[in-house]
Amino acid sequence: MRVLVTGANGFVGRALCGLLASRGVAYRGAVRAAVGTGAGESIAVGNIGPSTEWSSALAGCSAVVHLANLAHSPADRAELEAVNVEGTRRLARQAGAAGVRRMVFMSSVKALCEETVRGPVTESRVPEPADDYGRAKLAAERALAEVAAKAGFEAVILRPPLVYGPGVRANFLTLMRAVQRGLPLPVGAVRNRRSLIYVGNLADAVLRCLEAPEAVGKTYLVADGAPVSTPDLARALAHALGRPPRILGCPPRLLELAGTLIGRGAEVRRLTRSLEVDDSAIRSQLRWRPQYSFEEGLRVTAEWYRARGS
């Protein structure tokens, strides 16, 4: 098996390529501009969209892992549609024409919902994405399924929650920086439940989806294990970083109001509200288990953070 990995030099892509190399799986990394991707080949494909030419990248590959997407940017709906939806459709069509056997697509729990209230979300929930990113991911899933059905190749979709690990960015990195600097965090009164997944565990789940016959045509949620609250996450990060936690109590609704007033309501709600997933399907059907515990994942992430000198 030779695997084409799109977004090979990204956060998840680097972890996946490292895992493939360690398992002796041949891969080719598709990137925007020519750079090394470790032990595998790399090929530049330029910007991803409805006109990207994939034939050279796909040559000789029997499987594709599509990680590249537009996220964590002020992208408008048209950009999300072009890259995340039409870019996926274009890749799927050319993969089918090239004789690819299986394609694993990295979606997001945001294709289902932004928060949970009455327990964990499962794969059977009716999708209700709350923002343009989530809606684009759901549309990309449906585009892939449509093309796969017509072309006759196997499609598998993964919907992870927040992913953390070496190279993490966005809100998780901001939280680590605050903990490392000893800033007081007013989240002590938050009683939420949020699922996370360590990037090494997610890479391992991707590899399992590439190999398992039972994965064909399935969509899976995936997580490290039990959810954690925001204050418990802050305490665990403090422990991993060797810093004393500075957690203050503040009513969650007051935090949300303050966040809204300064134009950061969405970020604050991710700290105060729940987003819990039930990943029992991938565990039972594919016999998948996380290779790293939550504590191990945080330890490795903290080591990376300290080494970068931030």
- Catalytically annotated residues: 133
> Backbone dihedral region of 125: left (phi > 0), alpha (psi from -120 to 50 degrees) or beta?
beta
Rounded CA-CA distance 50/85 in Å is 8
Rounded CA-CA distance 257/149 in Å is 46
Rounded CA-CA distance 66/83 in Å is 12
Helix, strand or coil, per DSSP, at residue 292: coil
> Backbone dihedral region of 224: left (phi > 0), alpha (psi from -120 to 50 degrees) or beta?
alpha
Q: Are 161 and 224 in contact (CB under 8 A)?
A: no
The count of C-alpha atoms lying within 13 angstroms of the C-alpha of 64, restricted to the half-sphere facing its C-beta, is: 31
Rounded CA-CA distance 56/46 in Å is 12
